[in-house]
Structure 1
């Protein structure tokens, strides 16, 4: 199906607050909000770590991550600061390790305590959407039979205040690393306020690329078979997911890592694709190698024309870069949006 370029020009564009500037040394939130607004973005994804860091400055002391009274005070101030810059808060993120904890476990108690606290924060900052990433908790610690019921219960908690749940496949997840995995779960949850957060990095980085190989690609089958398998997955995505069940598409690319990562988790327990995600995700057209246009085009072919959101963690090709011109980077991201939608529609874009 050909894409109508004019319809792509109506897509609203957001920027994840946590992902402007160096991943290892984030600049002050207000500096990032200024750059995002000046470059012409309409909204931000507000990250929970940004609430903590801005809150420490705003309140003059470190904030306990479970002190939801103080967190709500800070979130309300961030809303004010966004409104001054004509920015909305499109989503609160990233909620991790929520689903599948055994009944009666400390993990499950903590997950639902956090969820109720986050709902309060959402009300304070003025957003109506929570992002949940598919859990990377080791499977032996989870009860897979609880995954759907937990998400159904969370959707119920969010439904009261009119909020939505955007469920994302994190490509290092232990139970749902691919778009089809999370889509099957969302279908089974079967609630009107749960949909998908799709992501170019998570899709291509899980089904096409691999940071643990010399080639940077999946090598479980020959290259031509891998490419055919990936293209079939994208075709299936276009034909399978209803457009109204896609709540947003996050955009980023990936650098090929300087040397292959170990296939084992690091000392913190983070799996290799999680490490890759943390420091090696530039904007498209800026040194990465993933098939970003193909993934984006597949999502657009569902008819989706909702939020595009730029979520990059750009530590440079070595993963160590710390010096970032915020305003120049934000403008580059806005230019990427123009080029990306043009090329998705088959148009030549002047470089």
Structure 2
């Protein structure tokens, strides 16, 4: 498919609040930087809401103190309205699906879900991002599907949608094909996908534990490229455009030294560690085939939200000091514009 400038000119732009500064930075300054760069919407990061609520009240607010979080959410909604920002999505809702029936973990997951729905009502968003779990659970697709159906049904009376994302270190759904298969089995009108350039290219094409930074290590780059292109061709021909709710954009730095393939002391797998601090905006030192993945998503007919979600600690993962948040969000907007230009070219 050939894309014209006109056909892509109305793609709305979004920026995740967790992708500029840290939760310790004032949320109002983050929002101002995002709006001043020309973004139209935000993904509201739960860590930012938690920090904002704690600072406003002068005490630590817990992640399940939902009444206090909702009150803070009303203020966030007001700030966004003043800046002309739409709250596109609340994120990241994690470790939800697949727990054993009647387990404490499953009960907690649904308790959290009901609380997050209250927060969504307070902030005025209609979309919840759910990441494919990385908990050590049995990988029963039937149990996962059943849980996600139940969550979609909890959201439905509020006219809320569930955007399900493949996390490339997930226990059971690390690739786009996995979450698409799950979406078909869930079969709910308010259940769709959150696709992500990093999560797919970082799982199917790249590997931070190899010297080359590529999947397989000893696989020829040409063969890997061909295999990835086949996956992208399948994506473009398979996924329904109305089932893609949002596309998240980021690149990745190739680690200076291969990451240890074993989980760290906190249980984080190598791709999770890579994701947490080595994800810049495109065209700023990364090496993933971001443009190719964006093209494949556009091949479906999708023209919805393109959202910058990065975790940029610099090439070492520890270099970002966040002395200029407005400068960073402006750089992200330039990367968005360049991405669309390269898609056209």
- TM bucket normalised to smaller: over 0.9
Distance between the aligned counterparts of 1:317 and 1:251, measured in 2? Answer: 18
Q: Which residue of 1 aligns with 2:146?
A: 149
Q: Which residue of 2 aligns with 1:19?
A: 19
Instruction: Figure out how many residues of one structure are paired with residues of the other and give that number.
Output: 343
Give the C-alpha shift of residue 5 in structure 1. 1.8
1:106 pairs with 2:104: yes
Distance between the aligned counterparts of 1:154 and 1:323, measured in 2? Answer: 38
Q: In structure 1, which of residues 196, 199, 212 is the aligned counterpart of residue 196 of structure 2?
A: 199
1:331 pairs with 2:330: yes
Distance between the aligned counterparts of 1:143 and 1:71, measured in 2? Answer: 34
Q: In structure 1, which of residues 185, 209, 226 is the aligned counterpart of residue 206 of structure 2?
A: 209
Farther off after superposition, 201-210 or 320-329: 320-329
Distance between the aligned counterparts of 2:145 and 2:220, measured in 1? Answer: 35
Q: Which residue of 2 aligns with 1:4?
A: 4
Distance between the aligned counterparts of 1:301 and 1:198, measured in 2? Answer: 14
Distance between the aligned counterparts of 1:322 and 1:41, measured in 2? Answer: 22
Question: Unpaired segments of 5 or more residues in structure 2?
Answer: none
Q: Which residue of 2 aligns with 1:62?
A: 60
Distance between the aligned counterparts of 2:120 and 2:126, measured in 1? Answer: 7
Q: Which residue of 2 aligns with 1:349?
A: none
Farther off after superposition, 224-233 or 182-191: 224-233
Q: Deviations over 1:21-47 (max 9, x none)?
A: 2x5x75221111010011111111001
Farther off after superposition, 63-72 or 320-329: 320-329
- Alpha-carbon contact 2:24-2:51 (below 8 Å) kept: no
- Alpha-carbon contact 1:20-1:26 (below 8 Å) kept: no
2:158 match: secondary structure: coil
1:293 match: secondary structure: helix
Q: How does 1:1-351 map to 2 (within 5 A)?
A: 1-21=1-21, 26-140=24-138, 143-219=140-216, 221-324=219-322, 325-346=324-345
Which structure has more relative contact order (CA 8 Å, sep 6+)? It is 1
2:6 match: secondary structure: helix
- Alpha-carbon contact 1:172-1:271 (below 8 Å) kept: yes
Q: Deviations over 1:73-115 (max 9, x none)?
A: 0111111111111111000000011111110011110110000
Give the root-mean-square deviation of aligned CA atoms: 1.1
Give the C-alpha shift of residue 130 in structure 1. 0.1
Question: Unpaired segments of 5 or more residues in structure 1?
Answer: 347-351
Distance between the aligned counterparts of 2:24 and 2:41, measured in 1? Answer: 19
